[in-house]
Structure 1
Amino acid sequence: MCEDPSQQGEVAVTSSAAAIIVAAGRGERAGQSAEGPKQYRNIGGIPVLRRTIEQFLAHSGIDRVAVVVHPDDRALLSAALGNRLSQVMVVEGGPTRQSSVRRGLEALASAPEPQTVLIHDGVRPFVDAALIDRTLAAVGATTGVIPAIAVADTLKRGAADGIIEATIDRRSLFAAQTPQAFPFAAIRAAHAAAAGEAREFTDDASIAEWAGMSVRLVEGSADNVKLTTARDIALADERLKGTHRMIDVRTGNGYDVHRLTQGDHVTLCGVSIPHDGGLDGHSDADVGLHALTDALLATCGAGDIGDHFPPSDPQWRGAASHIFVEKAVAIVRGKGGRIMNADISLICEAPKIAPHREAMRQAIAAMTGLDLDRVSVKATTNEAIGFVGRREGIAAIATASVAYGETA
C-alpha cells in the first residue's frame, strides 16, 4: 500500500528543491517524425517537453529546473521552449538514462546545492501540482520517494514456449512513476557509486535501493502516463484537442498604478520610453505588465503579483516585469489553461503611447505565446482630472481571457 507521509516518523524535507527533467532519449518506439524525438512532438499544439517543464516551473516548491537533452537536440529544445529556455538549466545528456541523470545531478551540485531533487521523465507531460506536492511532502532526510499505482491486472509468468508457469500475487505490486524524489546529496553519491557497476539500473529508485537508501511509495496518478509509442502521442493529442469538450472560459482583471517621480524614462508594457520623469516602484514599475500579471493569476485563483513577487524581497528590486508575466503564464498553463487574449488600457497624460503600441503588443505576444491579433494595447488620458490628470502617476487596467480544461 502507498504510505501517507504524515504517518512517518521522519521529518520531511520541504525546502530548496530542484527538478531534473530527463529528455535525452531517442524514442525509437515512437517512430520517426519530422518534429524529431517524441519529447519534441506537439500534443494539443504544444511540444510534449514544454508541457512537462512548465508544470515544474509553475510549482512554488521548485527552485530550479534542469533539463537533460541529447547533444544533437539543442535547436529542437530552443524551438520547443521558446522564451522558457532562459528559465531552465540545460545539461548535455549521456549515452544512457542513468548517465544522463548523473550529469544532471552534477550540474545541480553547484552552489547552492539543493536539499531535495525530483527526477522526472520528459515524456510524462500530465504530471500535476498535486502529484508534485505529494512527492515533495514524503521525502525524508535519508529517505527517497516514488509515486506508484497499484497493479490492477492479473499477472502471469510465462515460459519460453508460451505456457503459463504461474499466476503472480499482485497485492504487493506497484507500477512506478516519476517524479522520483530524493535527498540530493544521498542520490548524487548513489549515482556516482552505481556508475562503476556493470549493470544498468532501470530507474533512480533502484539505484537508491542498491545503495541502501529506503524508498517509500506515495499515491501516483492514472493521468501521469509516459508517452512511449506513436499511439500514446496520438491519444495524448486527441485528449488535449478533443472535439467533444466543454471549454471553461474565464476572464480576469488587473489594475495597477505607480507614482511618477524623477527620471528620464518609463517602462510600459515591456517597452522603455523616454520621458521627463520615471515611475517609482520596487521593480521596473511597469504598470501595464503588473496589471496583466494580476489578470492572468485571477483566472485560476492564484492570488496576485504580491503573493508571488513580494515587494519586500530584495531580489525583485529593479527586476524587469516580463519575469512576472512569464511566471503567471506558467502558472496558468500548469493548471491546464490556454490564454486566449490580453487587453491592456494605459491611463496617462504623457508620454504618447501610439508610437510605441506595436512594440508593446509584440513584447506581450512574446511573453504570453499569443498571436499578435490576440493582444490589444490602448491608451487614454484622464481629462486632466485626479492624480493621473495632474501627472502624478500612471495607471493601467488589464483583462485576460483563458480557457481551462474540458469535460466530456
Structure 2
Amino acid sequence: MSPISQAEKTVCIIPAGGMGSRMGLPLPKQLLPFNGEPLIAHVVRMFKNSVSEIVVAAPRAHMDAFKNALGNSCTLVEGGSTRFESVYNGYQACSLKNGDLVIIHDAARPFLDISTLKEALSLTREKGAVVYGSQAIDTIKEVNSEGVVQRTLDRTRIYQAQTPQIFQAELLKHCYKTVFSSESAKKIELTDEASMAEKCGYSVHIYNSSPENRKITLREDLKLLQKSQQRIGHGYDVHRFDNGRPLVLCGINVPEGPGLLGHSDADVAIHALIDAILGACGMGDIGRHFPDTDPAYRGISSTVLLSRVLEKVHQKAFQLINIDLTIQAQIPKLSPYIEAMTSNLAKHLNLQQDCVNIKATTTEGLGFVGEKQGIAAHSVVLVEKGVLYE
C-alpha cells in the first residue's frame, strides 16, 4: 500500500504490554518468531508505509528485547497493566491535532489485509469511529448464570470485534477527557476504545472484515505463527530370507514365512518407514540411531525402534502427516495381512487408518526379490514441523 497522501497525520498505536499469561510462555507472545522476525516487528512493518507515525506500548520488564526487535522503526513507550492503559500511554506520546486519525491495532493480530486500510480510513473520516469486525458465522446463544439458554440472537446483526479500531483524533480526545473526568466512568472497565466511544455517546461503525484477521490468544494459536514446513522423506530397506526365523512385517507375524535375516527382528517394512521418517526430519538413518553392532538391539521388535524414533522427532516439533509403504515380495502372498498391518501401524503412529497406506507387490520374477532371495520395502512419508515452546 502506498503512503497516504492526505494532509492529516495518521498515527498507529500498537498495545503490546501484555505478557501472554494465557499461553504460559517464558516471554511475551509479541516477541515470538513469525516469518523469520519477531511478531511485533512484523506488525510494525505491516503499517510502516501506511501511516505517519507508529507508537508501541511494551512491557517494562522486556523493554530491551523490544528495542532490539524494533530498532528505530517506531516510538516505544511503557505499557500499562491493562490493554486500555497501554493504548492510553501510547496516545499520550502522540502529538495530535484536529483532523488527524488514530489507528489502534493489536500486537498479536498479524493477519490483517493491509490493502483494506485505505477504505477504512476513508470511512473514519466520514463517520468518526470505525472498528474492524467479522460477521458471526455460528449461531449465538444467550444463557443465564446456570448455563440455560435464554434466547437465540440474530447472528446477521452480530459481529466479532477486531482491530484496527480507528478514530478521529478529536473524538478520541473527547472520550478520554470524559472517562477520566467522570467518577462513575472510572468504575467502568473498558476493554477497548470502541466501547469507550459507545459509552461516551458516539456511534461506532463496523468495517466488514474477514475472520482471517484473527488474534493470537491461546496456546493452540501458536501454530498460526509458523508457515507450514512440510517435508517429504523416502526410505528403502532390503533383507534376505532366513528359514530359521519368523517373518514379521509392520509388526505383524506372517506365519507362511520364510523369515528375514537381521540384527533386530528384521521387519524390513518398518525399517524402510523409519528411514523415511528420519530422512524427512533431517536426522540421518536407522543405522545411526540403532547400529547393528550394539547388542542392545539384538532381536528387538522394530515397533519399539519406531516408537523411539517418533519420540525423537516429536522432540524436534515434527508431526507425521501420512505414510505410503510398498513391500516387494515374490513370496509369501501378503494381501491377507495388509489390513492388519495397516491397523497396527496406524496405532503405533497415532494416525487415522486412511493416513497409512500399505501395498504389496511382486517383481514379476525379476531381480533379488523375484528370485525369492528376500524382501524389499520402500516408504514415503510427509511430516510437518510445528512450533515447539517449552
Cα distance change on mapping 1:114 and 1:52 into 2, 3 Å: farther
- The CA deviation string for residues 100-159 of structure 1, in whole angstroms up to 9 with x for no partner, is 11111111026x777001000000011132232232121126611111111010011223
Deviations 1:246-284 (A, max 9, x none): xxxxxxxxxxxxxxxxxxxxxxxxxxxxxxxxxxxxxxx
SS state at 1:212 partner = coil
- The residue aligned with 1:211 is 200
Superposition pairs of residues 21-60 of structure 1, within 5 angstroms: 21-33=14-26, 36-59=27-50
**CA deviation after TM superposition for structure 1 residue 228, in Å:** 0.3
CA contact (8 A) 1:155 1:167 kept: yes
Structure 2 Cα separation of the partners of residues 142 and 167 of structure 1: 30
Q: Which secondary structure state, in structure 2, belongs to the residue aligned with residue 140 of structure 1?
A: helix
Would you say the 8 A contact 2:175–2:200 is kept in 1? yes
Q: 1:146 to 1:117 in 2, by over 3 A?
A: same
Unaligned stretches of 5+ residues in structure 1: 1-12, 246-408
Q: What CA deviation, in whole Å up to 9, does each residue of 1:277-327 have, x standing for no partner?
A: xxxxxxxxxxxxxxxxxxxxxxxxxxxxxxxxxxxxxxxxxxxxxxxxxxx
- 1:336 is matched with which residue? none
Q: Distance in 1 between matches of 2:204 and 2:122?
A: 13
- Tell me whether 1:116 sits opposite 2:101 in the alignment: yes
Q: Is contact 1:43-1:233 (8 Å) kept? A: no
**Residue of structure 1 aligned with 2:230, choices 243, 266, 278:** 243
| 1:105 alignment partner AA | Y
Distance 2:218 2:176 in 1: 28
Which portions of structure 1, spanning 4 or more consecutive aligned residues, are displaced by more than 6 angstroms?
Answer: none
What is the RMSD computed on CA atoms of the aligned residues?
2.2
| Residue 180 of structure 1, CA deviation | 0.6
Amino acid at match of 1:27: G
Q: Contact 2:17–2:83 at 8 Å: present in 1 too?
A: yes
Letter in 1 for 2:11: A
3-state SS in 2 of match to 1:133: helix
1:75 to 54, 64, 81: 64
Change (3 A) 1:241 1:80: farther
Larger Rg over CA atoms: 2
The alignment-based identity, stated in percent, is 29
Residue 31 of structure 2 contacts residue 66 of structure 2 at CA under 8 Å; is this kept in 1? yes
Distance 1:200 1:243 in 2: 44
Partner Cα distance (1:214, 1:113) in 2: 19
1:165 deviation in Å? 2.5
Structure 1 partner of 2:387: none
In the aligned structure 1, how far is the partner of 2:98 from the partner of 2:73?
A: 18
Partner of 1:149 in structure 2? 134
User: What's 2:112 paired with?
Assistant: 127
Q: 2:87 aligns with which of 81, 101, 126?
A: 101
Partner of 1:189: 174
What amino acid maps onto 1:207 in structure 2? M
* Residues 225, 142 of structure 1: alpha-carbon distance in 2 compared, 3 angstrom cutoff: closer
Structure 1 pair 28–77 and aligned structure 2 pair: CA distance change class (3 A): same
- Rounded Cα–Cα distance in structure 2 between residues aligned with 1:219 and 1:58: 23
Change (3 A) 1:232 1:119: same
After superposing the two structures, state which structure 1 stretch, 138-147 or 176-185, moved more. 138-147
Give the Cα–Cα distance (whole angstroms) in 1 for the partners of residues 154 and 7 of structure 2.
36
1:370 corresponds to: none
Matched, 1:140 2:125: yes
Q: Is the 8 A contact 2:127 2:205 kept in 1?
A: no
SS in 2 for 1:177: strand
Say whether the 8 Å CA contact 2:16–2:56 is kept in structure 1: yes
Structure 2 counterpart SS, 1:199: coil
**Cα distance in 1, alignment partners of residues 126 and 75 from structure 2:** 25
Partner of 2:190: 201
For residues 114 and 41 of structure 1, the distance between their equivalents in structure 2, rounded to whole angstroms, comes to 36
Alpha-carbon distance, 1:163 to partner? 2.8
Alignment equivalent of 2:222, drawn from 196, 209, 233 = 233
Residues 87 and 79 (structure 1 numbering): CA distance in 2 closer, same or farther, change over 3 Å?
Answer: closer
For residue 58 of structure 1, give the secondary structure of its aligned residue in structure 2: coil
Aligned partner of 1:382 in structure 2 is none
Show structure 2 runs of 5+ residues with no match: 1-5, 233-390
Secondary structure of 1:108's aligned partner: coil
TM-score normalised by L of structure 1: 0.51
Classify the secondary structure of the residue corresponding to 2:109: coil
Q: Deviations over 1:232-256 (max 9, x none)?
A: 122331xx244289xxxxxxxxxxx
Give, as a single letter, the amino acid of the residue that structure 2 aligns with 1:63. Answer: S
CA distance in 2: counterparts of 1:210 and 1:53, whole angstroms: 30
1:17 pairs with 2:10: yes
1:180 aligns with 2:165: yes
User: Which of 179, 201, 212 is the equivalent residue of 1:223?
Assistant: 212
Deviations 1:342-380 (A, max 9, x none): xxxxxxxxxxxxxxxxxxxxxxxxxxxxxxxxxxxxxxx
The count of residues paired between Structure 1 and Structure 2 equals 223
The answer to whether residue 147 in structure 2 is matched with residue 162 in structure 1 is yes
Deviation at 1:74, TM superposition (A): 1.0
Asked if structure 1 preserves the Cα contact closer than 8 Å seen for 2:44 and 2:73, the reply is no
Kindly provide the amino acid, as one letter, of the partner of residue 23 in structure 2: A
Cα distance in 1, alignment partners of residues 201 and 25 from structure 2? 40
**Counterparts of 1:232 and 1:104 in 2: how far apart (Å)?**
27
* CA distance in structure 2 between the aligned counterparts of 1:146 and 1:234, rounded to whole angstroms: 27
